[in-house]
Chains A and B, each alone.
Chain A
Amino acid sequence: MTQSDKPSGDQEDLRLLRESARTLFERAGGSKRARTLRDAGGGWDADMIRKLAEAGVFGVTVPEEDGGLGMGLAAGGVIAEEVGRVIAPEPVVLTVGLSLGLLRRLCPNDARMAQLIGGETVLAVAWQERGPNGGPAEASCRYENGKLTGGKAWVVGAAGAQGFLVVAESDNGPVLVLAEAGADGLSVEERRQADGSAMGELSFSGTPAEELASGGAVQGTLAEAVNDTTALAAAELVGLSERAFEITLEYIKTREQFDKPIGSFQVIQHRAVDLNVMCEVAQSGVREALGLMDGETDPKARARLASRAKARAVTAARKITRDAIQLHGAVGYTDEYDIGLYLNRALVLSAWLGDDAYHRRLWFEAREEEGAAQ
């Protein structure tokens, strides 16, 4: 069956959502804001977070009865694309996919839900750990008697978050707990990223934390939230790629050498077409994958779709932002020119939650498993 046989559903809703998100970001200053915030130390803009909250952005996938917009992941993807277009540093994908992805499934009545949806607070999510060789390792961080001991790595948003949602091991199995930023025995090492943001390496020594959920549901929910976030990060990369391509196209139309716009040279034209095609394929593939995730309940099938989306988006974004630098010439290698901001953001988003090779592997393994099960 082809995609075209399916009913098109709420396309109009998505179009309106896209328009309002785009307007919001453009009014706030578009991609210029990203540079300003980076130069100011790599944080985000509290005022912007409030505006995004007013537009309902953070609660986009939260059911209406729990205070959200009750739209699907496809709608989240629309917003993520717009975030990507202006490389907004605000933690939109983090909050929609991870923080609220966990809370809305595990404890929808918790007061923190409303705070996150309302943009009053940002919670970073800490679940991965770093092993002795520097790579990801088995989780060993413990939660006992209300206190955390151990460490967590690759925590996005650690620098500005008011608290940390930590997945830890306890005597009763995995737990989700909340540690306040600045709590006793918590130290945060900030590792600076290519785009000016920071990832946190957390270490806990008897850090007090509040238990929000425990039991078998925690791991499964974490996996689901990570799937959602992976797919949303893919959408963010699609928006980023699109805009990076537009900037490049504009540049090759105006930059003149040999008394002609460089965009009149065939080799440049064909490279531009290849980037454009890559971009369109990524947009269609990623949007389709997110739409299908909305209609899918089987976690394995959803994971496979998320991997499909991220694999495509990373391949496209890497190619587009790198070729964009080449097509700009030396000016593309300067910090002053905006195209580099897109490359740097693509580096960070590609590495986060797995790159294309990683996700192709997951995708293939899931496909094999499905085939074997049939």
Chain B
Amino acid sequence: MTDWNAMSDADFRKEVRGFFEAEYPEELRHLPHRPKFAEIEHWHRKLHAKGWVAPAWPAEYGGMGLNAAKLLIFYEEQQRWGVNRGRDMGVQMVGPLIIKFGTPDQKEYWLPRILSCEDIWCQGYSEPGAGSDLANLRTRAESDGDDFVINGQKIWTTMAHDATHIFMLVRTDPDAPKKQQGISFLLAPMDQPGVEVRTITTLSGETEFCEVFFDNARTPRENLVGELNKGWTMAKALLSFERIFIGSPSLAQNALGQLESFARGRGAFDDPVFRDRFAQAALDVEDHAALYARFADQLKRGETLGADVSMLKIWVTECFQRITELMIEAAGPDGGTIGPLQVGNVSVDVLSSFYKARPTTIYGGSNEIQRNILSKAVLGLPG
């Protein structure tokens, strides 16, 4: 077993970069849509054989056991090369929860199946009445013999139509004094009569997320992770690393590169107004990277990140949006055209970048919610 953490940062980066560059299929680089598992299965097999499916998991569970510093490098390289994250909700979200709060039996059963993608997971948190105010969720799970019986509805469930299992937050005690109490974390199989999945078409025309209806669906009692009615705190405990990941510069950096080659091909740089706006965007990305480095250094020193890390997400997602808006402007009369636009020997899918940027300010805690958090937890403002 390689101790990756013992390597120097530079060597480790070289190793990761080398593997991606040699092994990642060219046709899957910078995929403009979220793939179904079948489309990336051959890549997943390679990653699995290499033992690199779960960089953050401890080695004893089949992960790479990377510390925060190495993990950042891994993700930086992944994004730099446009390596698709695959169907990683199992690895990113359920796995860590099972590792932290699961029983030995749960670990033994679920973790290998996550790594091999024998089970493919989707995240059932949001509901029609529970978006930003997630604790308002209503989907019920009631004890019935050896099972829980689930009734209710989830929505915006990414790739639920291509998942075998759903991990969900459900209400198990409707009489709890606070709505954050009485919520549990439950795993359930999708392939059963009581579960119905309807795809939702997004603005970009993709079917990326779904509604999931539960009508007396069942899941065995042993699929409760952690204590009954303690799901809220558990799910929140998971967010700390994700908060720097979601604020990493890569998306904006990649988009800026696309913008530049497209704008150059189109002659947009002849316009001094465009030049200035490009320079603004480029400097916004560069200075964001400097701020990101400050937080990354904090992680590398072994410190935990404070709530102030949210500012990375606010800045970079809004910057990403401005960059894709500039692409549309540079496209001029083609700004509404679906599909790749060819300029010289580069082809850029302007609309797809634009669409991809829109939800980044909505999911992962909307930017307004991030501002609420910063104003209270960091600035100490009242109310």
A-side residues, CB < 8 A to B, are 2-5, 8, 249, 252-253, 260-261, 263-266, 268-270, 272-274, 276-277, 280-282, 284-285, 287-289, 308, 311-312, 357, 360-361, 363-364, 367
B288 A361 Cβ-Cβ under 8 A? no
Residues of B whose CB lies within 8 Å of any CB of A are 9-10, 13, 69, 72, 76, 275-276, 278-280, 282-284, 286-294, 296-297, 300, 308, 311, 314-315, 368, 371-372, 374-376, 378-383
A281–B374 alpha-carbon span in the complex (Å):
15
A4 contacts B296, C-beta separation under 8 Å: yes
- Contact, CB under 8 Å: A269 / B375: yes
Report the minimum CB–CB distance from A58 to chain B (whole Å). Answer: 28
Nearest residue (CB) in A for B284 is A281
Contact: B372 with A266, CB < 8 Å? yes
Cα A281 to Cα B286 with chains together (Å): 10
Contact B375 A270 (CB under 8 A): yes
- A2 in complex: contacting residue of B276, B278, B289, B374, CB < 8 Å: B289
Q: List the B residue with the shortest CB-CB distance to A277.
A: B311
**A23 to B71 CA separation, bound complex (whole angstroms):** 39
Taking the closest CB of chain A, its distance from the CB of B340, in whole angstroms, is 24
Bound complex: CA A367 to CA B286 (Å): 13
Chain A residues with Cβ below 8 Å from B374 are 273, 276-277
A114 to chain B, nearest CB (A): 36
Shortest CB-to-CB span from B223 to chain A, Å, is 40
Interface centre among B276, B287, B288, B308 (most CB of A within 10 A): B287
In angstroms, how far is the closest chain B Cβ from the Cβ of A273?
Answer: 4
- A276-B378, A276-B379, A364-B279 as given contacts; A4 in contact with B297, CB under 8 Å: yes
| In contact, A2 and B287 (Cβ under 8 angstroms) | no
Contacts of B289 in A (CB 8 A): 2-3
Residues on the B chain within 8 Å of A3, using CB: 289-290, 293
Using A269-B371, A288-B290, A361-B276 as known contacts, say yes or no to A261 and B297 having CB atoms under 8 A apart.
no
The B contact surface, by secondary structure, is helix
Which of B282, B292, B311, B368 is within 8 Å of A276, CB to CB?
Answer: B311
The answer for the CA separation of A268 and B10 in the assembled complex, in Å, is 44
A164 CB to closest chain B CB (Å) equals: 35
C-alpha spacing A272/B375, complex, angstroms: 7
A2 to B380, CA, bound (A): 32
Picked from A276, A284, A357, the residue with its CB within 8 Å of the CB of B290 is: A284
Q: Which A residues touch B294, using CB under 8 A?
A: 284
Chain B: which residue is nearest A357 at the CB level? B276
**B279, A360: Cβ atoms under 8 Å?**
yes
Given the interface pairs A5-B10, A357-B276, the reply to whether A312 lies near B287 with Cβ below 8 Å is yes
Q: Which residues of B contact A265 (CB under 8 A)?
A: 383
CA distance A361 to B274 in the complex (A): 11
Q: In the complex, which of the residues A260, A269, A311, A312 has the most CB atoms of chain B within 10 Å of its own CB atom?
A: A269
Q: Is the CB of A273 within 8 A of B375?
A: yes
Question: With contacts A272-B375, A361-B279 known, is A280 near B383, CB below 8 A?
Answer: no
Task: Specify which of A8, A281, A312 lies most central, judged by the most chain B CB atoms within 10 Å of its CB.
Answer: A281
- Give Cα A266 to B376, complex, Å: 10
> Can you add 10 more A-B contacts, CB < 8 Å, to A252-B381, A261-B381?
A263-B375, A264-B381, A265-B383, A270-B375, A273-B374, A281-B287, A285-B286, A288-B293, A360-B276, A360-B280
**Which A residue's beta carbon lies closest to that of B380?**
A253
Contact B291 A284 (CB under 8 A): yes
A287 to B287, CA, bound (A): 10
Complex A-B: 16 CB contacts under 8 Å = A2-B292, A4-B72, A4-B296, A4-B300, A249-B379, A253-B381, A269-B375, A272-B375, A273-B374, A277-B314, A281-B287, A284-B290, A285-B290, A308-B283, A361-B276, A363-B279
A280 touches B291 (CB 8 A): yes
User: Which B residues touch A281, using CB under 8 A?
Assistant: 284, 287-288, 290-291, 311, 315
Q: Which of A3, A261, A367 is most buried by chain B, counting CB atoms within 10 A of its CB?
A: A3
Instruction: With both chains docked as a complex, state the minimum distance between the C-beta of A67 and any C-beta of chain B, in angstroms.
Output: 33
| Closest Cβ–Cβ distance, residue A171 to chain B (whole Å) | 39
The 8 A-B residue pairs with the shortest CB-CB distance, nearest first, are: A264-B383, A285-B287, A269-B375, A3-B293, A288-B290, A284-B291, A284-B290, A360-B279
